Amino acid sequence: MGTKLYVGNLSFETTEDDIRDLFSSCGTVTSCNLIIDKFTSKSRGFAFVEMASQAEATKAISEMNGKEVSGRALTVNEARPREERSGGGGGGYRGGNDRRGGGGGRRERY
């Protein structure tokens, strides 16, 4: 078990300072990372908190999981390692002799 914790079901108004204050009752918080949507710059409703020791992380899970904060029951558990993402995806290039013709306006068929 690691010392990095996943904290989910956060209110969208919750700040990193709020999370740090909440978890400091269980021990020393070495880092707190609230995940922000890159397009809207608003919270995505979850964060990662790293505690100073394994014992503090275990205490935080037992005390904070299910605790109601801002009307929402928190989900707190050990953070899983980040999965590698492939660089794939996106559309492919359709080269060659594609004779679809250009688009014009929309026309009615009778």
| Residue 58, domain extent | 4-78
**What pLDDT, on the 0 to 100 scale, is given for residue 62?**
97
Q: Is residue 101 part of a domain?
A: no
Q: Is residue 35 part of a domain?
A: yes
Q: Report the amino acid identity of residue 10.
A: L
Output the CA torsion sign for 26, 32, 35, 36. positive
Digit-coded pLDDT (tens) for 95-110: 556 566 555 566 666 6
Q: Report the amino acid identity of residue 54.
A: Q
- Answer yes or no: is pLDDT of 94 > 60: no
Q: Is residue 108 part of a domain?
A: no
What is the domain count for the chain? Answer: 1
- Answer yes or no: is pLDDT of 4 > 80: yes
Q: Is residue 106 part of a domain?
A: no
**What pLDDT, on the 0 to 100 scale, is given for residue 105?**
61
- Looking up residue 22, the CATH number of its domain turns out to be 3.30.70.330
Nearest Cα residue to 73 out of 6, 4, 11 = 11
Instruction: Determine if the pTM surpasses 0.75.
Output: no
CA distances from 51 to 9, 43, 83 (A): 19, 21, 21
Q: Is residue 85 part of a domain?
A: no
Digit-coded pLDDT (tens) for 44-78: 999 999 999 999 999 999 999 999 999 999 999 99
